[in-house]
Structure 1
């Protein structure tokens, strides 16, 4: 435990006294068995101010326990010099017995050592062994008699205290100041507390009104060097002279530190007594004469000498402690300097480390507030040289980086080189390598400043980078290894500092240089093993290149820097390495050119005028220039036409169509684009607007842009077709079509629909009255791209007829079927091949629609139904004739019956009615008869009508289902629902469907014969 002045420790625990001073530490433990309890109680109850010589005599002298008395004496620090002297002398007297016993142990050990060494020569090792033996014996004695060790420790403290007390009294006497213990110590000391005087030290002096500069208790416990420096700073030179004279042994090593504390304005005559004195005879400083109070130190004050190895270890531990606990690198450095001044070996490297660390702590720029910069020697030693270089320059700026490298980094690098040489491993490239490593990883702003401090025009001694080729390699590695997109002026500053070589290259050297630079594009390309090519990697690539290749690389760099500035100007910057990677990749160049044309305006949308766009085109053409080093420009693989086409597409993508029209007619630039190319570009941009549109209305938004974009080129078939498709899209969206519940259909979904007729079907099925506007629907189909597609027209008419049929609007359905029949007849002209797939498909759709309407049970116009069935017979394939004829016969029976009833009421016969029908111009019988003449009738013995006896309508339904499966809508559901589910003919009069008890085969034969006979003109009988 440390010593604490005052008796509070004794009060806390009887039997333990501690003391704490800056220079003394120890522990005193004693037993209370031989000490009267009342004496201890009285002693502890007395305050320092109440102690007198009488109380000391009465309380302490009667106690026989020397350790207790000595501890009690060392525990008290008083302001009264007389009482303090009495208690110190009493404590010293009580330690005499222990000192005597220790001397006896020392004498015995020394005598034995002399006997053992009598037969051999005394040398350094023998003396060291002797000292170690004495130390071991004394240590063994202290372990056996712990009280003696504690008494010796107390004695050394009391002797030092007595010396200080004598000095204090002498200073007070010189200053004619009475140290009065009753006076309170003032916190503010006067500038001149001691006056001049002389005399021997005594316990009393003449009285004065001034108080001492330092209280006695403080002077007894403070560090002497601190006190000396304080006196020097306050110009108390008389008191300082006494202190140096009486304690010179301890203060002489720090005399210059004390002198440095003297204010600069003090006159030398005032402190000449403490100035160094020159000895001409010895040609060195004269040793300061001292007059200590005790000529020889006491036995308790003799320190044990340490060997050099232990002393070096102590210095190292002490230095580490200073740096780690206080961070005062200068204090640690002064300690190692002091050791070095004594010639102590083994601390040179630590001195270098502290010197370099002190530069890092005190000479570098201060860190920002809140930064953790707690430096210790252990942390310093754990860092590698690269980390130390970065630490030196961590807070350097572009204004200070060059100077910091010269005054901080270069000395450190030279120290490392010297150490390598001393270790037998010389490495002349070490400073250069570490400096280059820092530059390769430094920010471009600092790199530019370093290069400006290394220009070839500067004297070599002033340049940070002195090798021109290394400058080129570093610049290429730093710039191509950077990811920066906005530091082009800084990169240009670096380039302007680079050397230029006047090397005459032949074709072979030029080709080799170009090949080397071309391979650089492959080198910087990312891979799985190296996602990013760093500046250090590039330095390895450029290291073996000769000056000719480096010169060529700098020419390429010049082109790339100009290209980079242009791209950055139009808000599409790219890192420098991109120019290497894309040099042989036309797809990448085209992609970046498109980005430049489309995003040139950036967030500020700067391109509002025609002049701005002309400037953009000029820059894009410049990037594709094929002049000097043009093979390395950003768009070197793109032709002028490619650039103009990309530029024009980008202009159109912004929606500035008026500027596009003006540029096409401008005389300032020559857009050498073929009208077909302009048309292609406009169509492509229009489709982009179309695909990005969220609404199909072409009167606003992207759809309007898509439509207006087509006004730029002259009208053509493709332009008109695309405009019609946009109009159709707008019309489709106006019908509120849904792609899924709650989600309106988008234009892109319309474009991606494979069969666009399904969209018309959805319009008809989702809008009840749409079928009434047949011309609107047909116009919509035409604009969807089916203007020349007759089959699509027929299918649309079929959908309209089917929708009208489901709505039971038979008149409109019949009208639509007539329109469809006329269309098919035009298609089946003599010039059209009968086996044309389009003709067959249109015919099939037509006859199925006619058949469906003609057999509908709710359609009560028998004449029209017969006409429709006749058209179905005319257009259907041969294998369907039998099926349709069965339906025809059924309808014809109904018609005959109605005619008979009507003629019977008017008096006309059936033959007249038949003649009237035959003369009708609209009756299809004539054409049907002509067709049947060339028709080979099928063998009805194997007909389903004979063998399986189903109703003939079933075969028609089967044929209709086959055709209707190709329709994008449902066919005939509403009308057939009104018929009896058990009536396969769909007739309203199920009693007429068949005759009870009649053979089905005979009935089928009769129906077929009657139908064919009627078609051929036979009698009804």
Structure 2
């Protein structure tokens, strides 16, 4: 009964209620060894002492089976026959077989229990910190009044004791690796290494990538340098000799009789078996594993320092082929962790794969990408130079030594760096520094690099930086013969052609220039520095006046006078100057001084930026630029100052002023000379001494302003521009456009004539006569016959005085004026609407006097017709008077024939021996006159006006009412009228075929 109650007590007692005493008390009273052993096998608790008691009790109860089996088979390592006999025994005694299996399991659990106890002692440091005091406790750690702190429970492994006893050891190893219990993992390897060794790499792969390798160095594989094989560790298992239940004979016997009883109920859960390596790996295989592991960690975390520690450990433990990987990681670590930080720029994602595909120049740039001019020399020394030395070492190890590799890569970076960064390098390479402190120690190399950087730069505003670079260069005192100096200058001249862009090389880079400067001897380099000094000073001057040029421009333009002239023009025209008159004058004096400095040669006989130009040409360019800014008061002051260097001939000053004035004129939007560019064009002519040319140009500007006031249009709605006025070939056409576009313009005869004079026709009688003819024609079209008559009288007086002058009537100009005059008189004299007969007869008389002989019949016919009409009118008035009619004042006036015109007419008829009048009235004579008159009037293109149309209709009506004897004569008149109606274009340059 007591035994039965113990069975029930054991079954009813929960695992967490077990204690050491309860286990011993209950199980000691149960006599059944198999039941007790199975109970100990079945019960798993997390209390170490209770679990140990269970295992000890179970092992004790399995001891009798050992006595029985050992009595039958004293040698457990017997032969096959004994194994077969043992199998038969187990098949007939299942209890013994089960007890043997339970014993083997309990022994393994005892080993794991002991291992678990040691595992708990190897908690990681971070867990110990977490389970230790908190920040508040640390703050009051030395408080003497504080109570004694209670002991903190130790950190627990990632699994419980019961889980560890039943789980697969590999799974437990995975958990320890993942949770970073590296000390516990070492214990596990030490106590159960025979089982875990084949899976060592799978276990290492479970370690988080971010875990520092220094925490698990002992777990990393190492290599025996003598055998080039993986170092096999020694194990410290709990039992040096296996128990009899673990012998091969017992194990085989149990496996053979497993069909007799269900062995699976006693089996532990297993996990899938990962790839394993039972045999040690070769050194190359270990190296490949390290590289794979490094790539995985860098790709996932980017922690270069972590993998560097791992590789260093492997290399120090004999793993081959890790030196280069370690170098790459070390160099990459410098790039990631040692380069200057920039809070504005995000950190780049650096990986080993990216590092391996980058070329050396790109790596050098990456090292220095965040450097400042202040830190650049130090960064080159501590970051770039170690990398370059590694490259040299690798090239040497590969059998391809390249002693200039480091120097070449460093030079390549300097040539491609901004000038501010390059200046920092040159300042760290000054000849005045101790050799050990100089970044570049060879003076000639420094000079070649500086020349290449400066002349290869396109910068327009870094002259202070360029001067800093120049100040870092050595000052060689090398006496040179003239031949050496010429050779150096020739070299620099050829350099100018070298830097000039071409199809083959659109731009000349600093690297290209270094190729050019590399073979130059010391004397040529010294001369190049002298030239560089001049070019830098010239560049600063050009930059000061807002016309900067890159330094290589001075080489390109050294043999190009046109380029120098163009730049001098830009310099003179872009100079602004202060608004204050005094300051502006000082600025322009300073500009003149600088332009002359660029034109001269210094003590070293090196020409400046404008060295190919003469001094006079530079002065002309300067003066022209001064005028282009409209600073005419300053121009006058400089011209008349005794201290000025602006000394030019009067004619040159006049030419420049005229050219500048015309430039203002051509750029003007309005012709009004009271404002804008036209005002500047006018005032510019006050700078030189007055002369005929200056006065003529001023008058032309005045004429332009007057034309603009008349609103002459270039196209409908668009006023004529000044440039169109200047480009008009025949400027008298402008008078025609004024008269045609302004109905009252003809009334202002003196204004129009003054406009003609100012357009460039002063003292030009022909132009004046043509202008008067236009005025007369405009008055005629407006039916203002009085003004038309007065204008024609003035025109005829002018022509007659011209014919009586020394020029004579045979002069081409006199002939042209005469032609214009007689046609205008003929036109007005034959107008039917003009009813003042004596004036008309006077005009026709003047036309007869002036016209050429071959036109005389045409004019005379009209005169005779008018005379006949006048005679008829007189006869009618005489008849009326006889009848007592009273004469009107007009009739009295009409009886007074112009004696002068009559006398002239009679003289002209006598001179030319004209046939008798009846001859003209014959049909043949009339036809001949008509033909002749058509040839004359074909060149009378006066503009069509309302009066002209009405005159023609009136004339046609008169022709219809005329007698038939005058039919031929009227045909001639009608033809002339139609020709006259074509306008006045013939007066302003049309070809005349009269």
Query: Shared topology, TM-score over 0.5?
Result: yes
Aligned positions of 1:78-117 closer than 5 A: none
User: Which residue does 1:189 correspond to in 2?
Assistant: 131
Tell me by how many angstroms 1:920 deviates.
Answer: 6.4
Deviations 1:143-188 (A, max 9, x none): xxxxxxxxxxx99x9999867623245679xxxxxxxxxxxx9995
Tell me by how many angstroms 1:364 deviates.
Answer: 1.0
Deviations 1:347-396 (A, max 9, x none): 22222111111111111112454446111111111111111111111111
User: Which residue does 1:326 correspond to in 2?
Assistant: 301
- Residues 223 and 740 of structure 1, relative CA distance in 2, 3 Å threshold: farther
- Which secondary structure does the structure 2 equivalent of 1:556 belong to? helix
Q: Distance in 2 between matches of 1:87 and 1:750?
A: 125
User: Which residue does 1:892 correspond to in 2?
Assistant: 867
1:166 aligns to 2:117 (yes or no): yes
- The structure where helix makes up a greater share of residues is 2
User: Which residue does 1:753 correspond to in 2?
Assistant: 728
User: Which residue does 2:101 correspond to in 1?
Assistant: none
Aligned positions of 1:828-907 closer than 5 A: 828-906=803-881
| Cα-Cα RMSD | 4.7
Aligned positions of 1:458-857 closer than 5 A: 458-601=433-576, 608-857=583-832
Tell me by how many angstroms 1:400 deviates.
Answer: 0.7
Q: Distance in 1 between matches of 2:753 and 2:430?
A: 80
Q: Is the 8 A contact 1:941 1:947 kept in 2?
A: no
Q: Distance in 1 between matches of 2:188 and 2:285?
A: 32
Q: Is the 8 A contact 1:189 1:214 kept in 2?
A: yes
Tell me by how many angstroms 1:795 deviates.
Answer: 1.2
Q: Is the 8 A contact 2:753 2:771 kept in 1?
A: yes
User: Which residue does 1:92 correspond to in 2?
Assistant: none
Q: Is the 8 A contact 1:401 1:446 kept in 2?
A: yes
1:992 aligns to 2:962 (yes or no): yes
User: Which residue does 2:379 correspond to in 1?
Assistant: 404
Q: Is the 8 A contact 2:599 2:615 kept in 1?
A: yes
Aligned positions of 1:403-442 closer than 5 A: 403-442=378-417
- Which secondary structure does the structure 2 equivalent of 1:924 belong to? helix
- Which secondary structure does the structure 1 equivalent of 2:912 belong to? coil
Tell me by how many angstroms 1:472 deviates.
Answer: 1.4
1:926 aligns to 2:937 (yes or no): no
Structure 1 residue runs of 5 or longer lacking an equivalent are 1-47, 55-72, 90-153, 173-184, 193-207, 232-238, 263-286, 909-915, 1005-1021
- Residues 885 and 292 of structure 1, relative CA distance in 2, 3 Å threshold: farther
- Which secondary structure does the structure 1 equivalent of 2:132 belong to? coil
Q: Is the 8 A contact 2:671 2:678 kept in 1?
A: yes
Q: Is the 8 A contact 2:660 2:681 kept in 1?
A: yes
User: Which residue does 1:130 correspond to in 2?
Assistant: none
Q: Is the 8 A contact 1:624 1:633 kept in 2?
A: yes
Tell me by how many angstroms 1:244 deviates.
Answer: 11
Tell me which of 196, 217, 224 is aligned to 2:158.
Answer: 217
User: Which residue does 2:323 correspond to in 1?
Assistant: 348
- Which secondary structure does the structure 2 equivalent of 1:395 belong to? coil
TM-score, normalised via structure 2 length: 0.72
Q: Is the 8 A contact 1:570 1:596 kept in 2?
A: yes
Q: Distance in 1 between matches of 2:971 and 2:627?
A: 75
Tell me by how many angstroms 1:769 deviates.
Answer: 1.1
Q: Distance in 2 between matches of 1:960 and 1:559?
A: 75
Q: Distance in 2 between matches of 1:580 and 1:369?
A: 40
Tell me by how many angstroms 1:792 deviates.
Answer: 1.3
User: Which residue does 1:100 correspond to in 2?
Assistant: none
- Residues 679 and 379 of structure 1, relative CA distance in 2, 3 Å threshold: same
Q: Is the 8 A contact 1:824 1:846 kept in 2?
A: yes
Structure 2 residue runs of 5 or longer lacking an equivalent are 1-14, 23-41, 57-104, 135-148, 161-171, 217-231, 249-272, 884-892, 973-994
- Residues 673 and 87 of structure 1, relative CA distance in 2, 3 Å threshold: farther
User: Which residue does 2:937 correspond to in 1?
Assistant: 960
- Which secondary structure does the structure 2 equivalent of 1:988 belong to? helix
Q: Distance in 1 between matches of 2:915 and 2:46?
A: 148
- Which secondary structure does the structure 2 equivalent of 1:739 belong to? strand
User: Which residue does 1:129 correspond to in 2?
Assistant: none
- Residues 826 and 987 of structure 1, relative CA distance in 2, 3 Å threshold: farther
User: Which residue does 1:234 correspond to in 2?
Assistant: none
User: Which residue does 2:943 correspond to in 1?
Assistant: 970
Q: Distance in 2 between matches of 1:822 and 1:1002?
A: 29
- Residues 81 and 923 of structure 1, relative CA distance in 2, 3 Å threshold: farther
Q: Distance in 1 between matches of 2:577 and 2:45?
A: 84
- Residues 228 and 1002 of structure 1, relative CA distance in 2, 3 Å threshold: closer
Q: Distance in 2 between matches of 1:49 and 1:684?
A: 116
Q: Is the 8 A contact 1:945 1:952 kept in 2?
A: no
Deviations 1:618-658 (A, max 9, x none): 11111111333454311112222222222222222222222
Q: Is the 8 A contact 2:298 2:307 kept in 1?
A: yes
- Residues 50 and 463 of structure 1, relative CA distance in 2, 3 Å threshold: farther
- Residues 944 and 990 of structure 1, relative CA distance in 2, 3 Å threshold: closer
Tell me by how many angstroms 1:213 deviates.
Answer: 3.5
- Residues 49 and 918 of structure 1, relative CA distance in 2, 3 Å threshold: farther
1:390 aligns to 2:365 (yes or no): yes
Q: Distance in 2 between matches of 1:1002 and 1:737?
A: 39
Q: Is the 8 A contact 2:638 2:644 kept in 1?
A: yes
- Residues 999 and 993 of structure 1, relative CA distance in 2, 3 Å threshold: closer
TM-score, normalised via structure 1 length: 0.70
Higher mean C-alpha displacement, 815-824 vs 923-932: 923-932
Deviations 1:772-818 (A, max 9, x none): 11111111111111112211111111111111001000000010111
Tell me by how many angstroms 1:528 deviates.
Answer: 2.2
Q: Distance in 2 between matches of 1:699 and 1:242?
A: 106
Deviations 1:451-491 (A, max 9, x none): 11111222333222222222111111111111111111110
Q: Is the 8 A contact 1:834 1:840 kept in 2?
A: yes
User: Which residue does 1:310 correspond to in 2?
Assistant: 285
- Residues 412 and 594 of structure 1, relative CA distance in 2, 3 Å threshold: same
Q: Distance in 2 between matches of 1:576 and 1:314?
A: 57
Q: Distance in 1 between matches of 2:323 and 2:853?
A: 118
- Residues 814 and 670 of structure 1, relative CA distance in 2, 3 Å threshold: same
- Residues 288 and 347 of structure 1, relative CA distance in 2, 3 Å threshold: closer
Q: Distance in 1 between matches of 2:518 and 2:734?
A: 68
- Residues 458 and 884 of structure 1, relative CA distance in 2, 3 Å threshold: same
- Which secondary structure does the structure 2 equivalent of 1:582 belong to? helix
- Residues 746 and 217 of structure 1, relative CA distance in 2, 3 Å threshold: same
Greater RCO, 1 or 2 (C-alpha within 8 Å, sep 6+): 2
Q: Is the 8 A contact 1:559 1:629 kept in 2?
A: no
- Which secondary structure does the structure 2 equivalent of 1:424 belong to? coil
